[in-house]
């Protein structure tokens, strides 16, 4: 036993298995995030619809799956699907019977419910004046949504989305309860084999940390790209004369008041 | 741009009655919930006419002008624009919006698009113009408002006066027959008001039909065929600019003029 609670040899030895677990974590995360991006916009539009037949089910969906604890949700999906005869005997049982797919379904339900509020907040933050200007120009509503509201909402909602993605990625650890061998599951296995409480958990923790920070770097790049119109203002200010700098500052202020939301 | 350009309507204080009607409002009421914002508005604007609307804050000027391109639906009466009656059907609303350009107090340029892209968007999506052609149109109108060299910048990099001139160019790119201005200089610093008014005067000289909500008296005197005074949702007085400012009829207009002239 050395002073550190970590056994480097064990960490090294378990690394390949850990990386396989990390791979599972990444694959689940990527699949659910992709499904989330696809599903969140239609569900949000339903939620924001003036038609109660669309708005109500969407609202119930959000309230239910936001509120349902993820752990319990996963148990319900994994063990509950097996109780439903039509599913068990149906042609899609290879999906509903698989732990991996159940994990993806449970996580997606929860993630989409959170995303609906993120997307809704971002869409509502787009200044009404811009939508009106677009309508007044004779741009059809569909195009206004795609070309004005959605791209601006993406900029406004990026920080909130980043938070959700980071929290979600760390939260995927719960899928080990339905027998998916993700990073946390591997760490648990190593612990059960060695009774070393620190080494596997700290190794897994370091890998989660790397993953989360990789995500953060990605978001920083994306943000720089999406807010290039702000960056252009910053660059312009440097060689500017004092009078112009004051002017730019005023416009930046006006702009941030108009655009700032989250 | 149009054949009306040679007719120089500015010289005559009242448009000849034989000109075709551009905008006709009869008995228009508008309610916001239980609050009546417009009360029995009757207004006829003929082709090539320039109308200035003024009145105290909250008197319904914006509501009136926004009813003309149906950014606000009216509740009673009829509004006909270039022979198209606004009856609430999406098709007619769209047709009317293609007849009318609109300029807002807050410019409402799309912040994530360059100046050029701001001007190209509506021709491409609203009229289905090809990209090269849309760019040619955009550059032509940006030149006309003397801002061609800023085409690749983003709105936040421009001064308020420049942004408002871009907003005018953006509206002109749809080649509207009628221009609606809602306090286009009210958000501008004094030194920038002139450049925007100059662009508007150029437009007036070319024969554009214009309805302007503005308190710029100099502009009204130089350009307006008629001035309309609104108070509490009603049109209280209509007169030539000369009579309007020099010899007002109603006490309400006298009071209002005393206020804006101090
Ligand atoms: N969307 C709205 N909902 C409720 N009331 C409104 C709305 N828009 C305007 N109003 C009210 O209608 C009246 C007229 O507004 P507006 O046309 O903007 O006046 P003006 O442009 O002359 O200042 C005001 O009292 C205003 O508070
Ligand atoms: Mg107004």
Q: With an 8 Å Cβ cutoff, are A140 and B154 in contact?
A: no
**pLDDT tens by residue, B129-179:** 999 999 999 999 999 999 999 999 999 999 999 999 999 999 999 999 999
Mean pLDDT of B30-38: 97
Most B CBs within 10 A among A136, A139, A150, A237, hence the mutation to make, goes to: A136
Tokens linked to A189: 């296995």
- CA–centroid distance, B211 to ligand 2, in Å, is 13
| B65: pLDDT strictly greater than 60 | yes
Q: What are the angstrom distances between the C-alpha of B190 and each of A38, A50, A248, B212?
A: 48, 43, 17, 18
Ligand 1 atom nearest to CA at B57: 23
| B36: pLDDT strictly greater than 70 | yes
Q: Are B229 and B256 contacting, i.e. CB atoms less than 8 angstroms apart?
A: yes
Residue A59 buriedness (CB in 10 A; 0-12 / 13-18 / 19+) = middle
| B212: pLDDT strictly greater than 80 | yes
d(CA A262, CA B73): 32
Three-state secondary-structure class, residue B163: helix
Helix H, strand E, coil C: the string for chain A is: CCCCCCCHHHHHHHHHHHHHHHHHHHHHHHHHHHHHHHHHHHHHHHHHCCCHHHHHHHHHHHHHHHHCCHHHHHHHHHHHHCCCHHHHHCCCHHHHCCHHHHHHHHHHHHHHHHHHHHHHHHHHHCCHHHHHHHHHCCCCHHHHHHHHHHHHHHHHHHHHHHHHHHHHHHHHHHHHHHCCCCHHHHHHHHHHHHCCCCHHHHHHHHHHHHHHHHHHHHHHHHHHHHCHHHHHHHHHHCCCCHHHHHHHHHHHHHHHHHHCCC
| B181: pLDDT strictly greater than 80 | yes
Three-state secondary-structure class, residue B145: coil
pLDDT score, position A60: 96
Mean pLDDT of A20-39: 96
Task: Report domain extents, chain A.
Answer: 8-261
User: Which residue in B has a C-alpha nearest to residue A131's C-alpha?
Assistant: B108
| A143: pLDDT strictly greater than 70 | yes
| A247: pLDDT strictly greater than 80 | no
* pLDDT bucket at B235, cuts 50 / 70 / 90: very high
Residue A115 buriedness (CB in 10 A; 0-12 / 13-18 / 19+) = buried
User: Which residue in A has a C-alpha nearest to residue B105's C-alpha?
Assistant: A129
Phi, psi of B235 (to 5 degrees): -85, 115
- CA–centroid distance, B61 to ligand 2, in Å, is 6
pLDDT score, position B15: 52
* pLDDT bucket at A82, cuts 50 / 70 / 90: confident
Q: Which residues contact B43 (CB under 8 A, 6 or more apart)?
A: B23, B24, B25, B51, B64, B228, B235
* pLDDT bucket at A232, cuts 50 / 70 / 90: low
* pLDDT bucket at A235, cuts 50 / 70 / 90: low
d(CA A243, CA A249): 10
Cβ contacts below 8 Å, chain A against chain B, sum to 89
Question: Quick one: what percent of chain A has pLDDT higher than 70?
Answer: 86
| B121: pLDDT strictly greater than 70 | yes
Residues enclosing ligand 1, CB less than 6 A?
Answer: B 32, 35, 37, 55, 57-63
**pLDDT tens by residue, A46-56:** 999 999 999 99
Phi, psi of B188 (to 5 degrees): -105, 150
pLDDT score, position B43: 97
The answer to whether the Cα torsion of A200, A185, A35, A162 is positive or negative is negative
The mean predicted confidence, pLDDT, of chain A is 86
Tokens linked to A203: 């190794």
Range A8-261: architecture per CATH:
Orthogonal Bundle (1.10)
pLDDT score, position A2: 55
d(CA A174, CA A190): 17
Q: For strand B21-32 and strand B35-46, is the pairing parallel, antiparallel, or unpaired? A: antiparallel
Q: Is B156 on the interface with A (CB under 8 A)?
A: yes
Of B9 and A184, the structure prediction assigns the larger pLDDT to: A184
Mean pLDDT of A240-260: 44
ipTM of the modeled complex: 0.89
Residue B133 Cα, gap to closest chain A Cα (Å)? 17
Residue B102 Cα, gap to closest chain A Cα (Å)? 6
Q: Are B211 and B68 contacting, i.e. CB atoms less than 8 angstroms apart?
A: yes
Q: With an 8 Å Cβ cutoff, are A233 and B156 in contact?
A: yes
């Amino acid at each position: 036993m050395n002073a550190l609670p970590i056994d480097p040899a064990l960490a090294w030895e378990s690394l390949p298995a850990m990386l396989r677990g990390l791979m599972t974590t990444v694959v689940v995360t990527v699949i659910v995030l992709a499904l989330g991006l696809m599903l969140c916009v239609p569900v949000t539009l339903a939620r924001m619809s003036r038609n109660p037949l669309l708005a109500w089910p969407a609202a119930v969906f959000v309230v239910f799956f936001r509120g349902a604890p993820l752990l319990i949700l996963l148990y319900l999906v994994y063990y509950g699907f097996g109780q439903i005869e039509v599913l068990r005997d149906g042609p899609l049982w290879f999906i509903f019977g698989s732990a991996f797919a159940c994990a993806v379904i449970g996580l997606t339900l929860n993630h989409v419910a959170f995303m609906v509020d993120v997307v809704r907040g971002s869409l509502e933050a787009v200044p009404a004046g811009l939508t009106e200007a677009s309508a007044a120009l004779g741009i059809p509503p569909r195009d206004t949504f795609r070309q004005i509201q959605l791209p601006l909402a993406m900029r406004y909602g990026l920080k909130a989305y980043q938070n959700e993605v980071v929290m979600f990625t760390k939260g995927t650890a719960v899928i080990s309860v339905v027998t998916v061998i993700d990073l946390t599951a591997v760490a648990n296995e190593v612990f059960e084999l060695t009774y070393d409480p620190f080494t596997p958990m700290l190794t897994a923790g370091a890998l989660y940390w790397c993953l989360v920070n990789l995500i953060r770097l990605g978001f920083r790049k994306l943000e720089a790209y999406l807010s290039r119109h702000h960056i252009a203002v910053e660059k312009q200010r440097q060689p500017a004369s004092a009078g112009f700098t004051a002017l730019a500052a005023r416009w930046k202020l006006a702009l941030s008041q108009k655009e700032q939301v989250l | 741009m149009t054949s009306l350009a040679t007719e120089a309507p500015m010289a005559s204080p009242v448009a000849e009655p034989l000109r075709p009607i551009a905008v006709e409002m009869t008995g228009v009421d508008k309610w916001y919930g239980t609050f009546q914002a417009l009360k029995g508005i009757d207004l006829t604007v003929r082709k090539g006419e320039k109308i200035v609307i003024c009145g105290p804050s909250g008197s319904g000027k914006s509501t009136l002008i926004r009813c003309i391109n149906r950014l606000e639906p009216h509740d009673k009466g009829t509004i006909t624009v270039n022979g198209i009656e606004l009856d609430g059907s999406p098709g007619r609303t769209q047709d009317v919006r293609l007849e009318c350009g609109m300029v807002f107090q807050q410019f409402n340029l799309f912040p994530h698009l360059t100046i050029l892209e701001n001007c190209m968007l509506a021709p491409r999506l609203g009229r289905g113009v090809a990209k090269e052609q849309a760019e040619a149109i955009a550059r032509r109108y940006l030149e006309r408002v003397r801002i061609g060299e800023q085409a690749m910048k983003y709105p936040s990099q421009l001064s308020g006066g420049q942004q408002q001139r871009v907003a005018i160019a953006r509206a002109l790119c749809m080649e509207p027959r009628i221009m609606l201005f809602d306090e286009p200089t009210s958000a501008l610093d004094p030194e920038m008001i002139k450049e925007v008014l100059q662009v508007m005067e150029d437009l007036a000289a070319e024969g554009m039909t214009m309805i302007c909500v503005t308190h710029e008296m100099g502009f009204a005197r130089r350009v307006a065929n008629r001035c309309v005074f609104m108070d509490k949702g009603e049109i209280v007085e209509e007169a030539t600019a000369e009579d309007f400012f020099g010899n007002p009829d109603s006490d309400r207009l006298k009071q209002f003029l005393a206020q804006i002239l101090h």
